[in-house]
Amino acid sequence: MKIIITEEQYDRTVNQRSLFWIKRRFDSVKEALKETFDLMEFDICRTDDYETFEKKFFSVFMDCLHPYFYDDDNFSFSEYDGVYDLLKDVFYVECTEFYFGGREKC
């Protein structure tokens, strides 16, 4: 038996699993966010373009979460991408406030 779903339904399914992953480990995600703020503070004045900073910020954020990804045996590449996208959506405001607040001090 084959089940055919649309691309939108597939994306929602993947994102749901990613959302559950974030919810289960939200304390770890918050700790990783604090660590990311500490690591990226130096780069604020060195990066003139917000889009470049945002990309690097969320890459560092995902790197801080890597130990938790490795602990989960069933974590797939599609879930990784889903977590990345969700983290960008959830913490976008924190990233922009961090960047532009830091740029005022430069």
Q: pTM of this prediction?
A: 0.80
Query: Who's near 62: CB < 8 A, 6+ residues apart?
Result: 80, 83, 84, 87
φ, ψ for residue 86, nearest 5 deg: -65, -40
Q: How far is CA 28 from the centre of its chain?
A: 12
Segment holding 88, helix H or strand E: helix 77-90
Rounded Cα–Cα distance for residues 17 and 50 (Å): 30
User: Which residue has 């939200």 as its token pair?
Assistant: 26
> Can you give the pLDDT of all 106 residues of the chain as single tens digits?
555 656 666 666 556 778 888 888 899 999 999 999 999 999 999 999 999 999 999 999 999 998 887 776 677 777 888 889 889 988 999 999 999 999 998 8
